[in-house]
Amino acid sequence: MSSRFAGLTPLLAPRSVAVLGASSDPTRISGRPIAYMKSQGFQGALYPINPNRSEIQGLKAYASINDVPEVPDVAIVAVSSDVAAAAIEDLAKKGVKAVVMFTAGFAEMDDAGAVAQDKMVATARSYGMRILGPNCLGVFDARRAYYATFSSSFDSGWPVPGRIGIASQSGAYGTHLYTLARNRGIGASLCIMTGNEGDVTMGECIGWLAENPEVDVITVYAEGIREASGLIAALEAARAAKKPVIMQKVGRSELGTKAAKSHTASIAGDDSVTEAIMNEFGVFRASNSEQMLDIAHTATRKIYPVNNTLGVITVSGGAGVLISDVAESVGLAMPEMPEATQKHLRDLVPFCAPRNPVDATAQVSNDPTLINTFTEAMIRDGGYSTVLGFFSMTASSRRWPVIREQLNLVKDKYPDRLYVLSVITPPERTAELEADGWVVHEDPTRAVVAIDAMGRFGKAFAKAEGAPAPSVPAVTLPAVTPTEAEAKRLLATAGIASAPEAECTDADAAVAAAEKFGYPVVMKILSPDILHKSEIGGVLLDVFDAAVVREGFATLLSRAKAAAPSARIEGVLVAKQLQGGVECILGIHRDPVFGPVAMFGLGGIFVEILKDVVFRRCPFGPDVAEEMIRSIKGAPLLLGARGRKKADVKALADTLSRLSAFAMAAGPKLQSIDLNPVFAMPEGEGAFAVDAVVEVG
Closest CA to 119 of 86, 147, 153, 144: 86
d(CA 137, CA 195): 7
Q: Are 205 and 7 in contact (CB under 8 A)?
A: no
Q: Are 406 and 369 in contact (CB under 8 A)?
A: yes
Confidence of residue 396 (pLDDT cuts 50, 70, 90): confident
Angle 634-636-639 (CA atoms, 0-180°, nearest 5)?
130
Torsion 45-46-51-53 (CA) sign: negative
Over range 254-282, report the average pLDDT. 62
CATH class of the region 582-696: alpha beta
Phi, psi (deg, nearest 5) at residue 192: -120, 130
Most confident of 220-224, 266-270, 357-361, 380-384: 380-384
Q: Is 439 helix (H, G, I), strand (E, B) or coil?
A: strand
Quick one: pLDDT at residue 256?
Answer: 35
The interaxial angle of helices 317-330 and 444-462, nearest 10 deg, is 40
Lowest-pLDDT choice from 356-370, 466-480, 624-638: 356-370
Give the containing element (helix H, strand E) for 477.
none
Instruction: Domain 1-150: give its CATH code.
Output: 3.40.50.720
For the stretch 108-160, pLDDT in tens is 999 999 999 999 999 999 999 999 999 999 999 999 999 999 999 999 999 99
Q: In the CATH hierarchy, which fold is given to the domain comprising 500-576? A: Dna Ligase; domain 1 (3.30.1490)
Lowest-pLDDT choice from 211-220, 357-366, 426-435: 357-366
For the stretch 206-252, pLDDT in tens is 999 999 999 999 999 998 888 899 999 999 999 999 999 999 998 76
Instruction: Domain 301-462: give its CATH code.
Output: 3.40.50.261
Quick one: pLDDT at residue 252?
Answer: 67
Over range 660-688, report the average pLDDT. 96
- Residue span(s) of the chain under CATH 3.30.470.20 come to 582-696
For the stretch 616-665, pLDDT in tens is 999 999 999 999 999 999 999 999 887 789 999 999 999 999 999 999 99
Closest CA to 44 of 147, 137, 188, 180: 147
Write down the pTM of the prediction.
Answer: 0.92
**pLDDT above 50 (res 341):** yes
Over range 562-587, report the average pLDDT. 95
**pLDDT above 90 (res 267):** no
**pLDDT above 50 (res 556):** yes
Superfamily assignment of 153-300 in CATH?
A: Succinyl-CoA synthetase domains (3.40.50.261)
Quick one: pLDDT at residue 268?
Answer: 43
- CB proximity list for 209: less than 8 A, separation 6 or greater: 165, 167, 190, 192, 215, 218, 238, 243
- What is the total residue count of the chain? 697
**pLDDT above 80 (res 340):** yes
Over range 530-542, report the average pLDDT. 92
Quick one: pLDDT at residue 358?
Answer: 95
- Residue span(s) of the chain under CATH 3.40.50.261 come to 153-300, 301-462
- Residue span(s) of the chain under CATH 3.40.50.720 come to 1-150
By the 10 Å C-beta count (0-12 exposed, 13-18 middle, 19+ buried), 240 is classed as: exposed
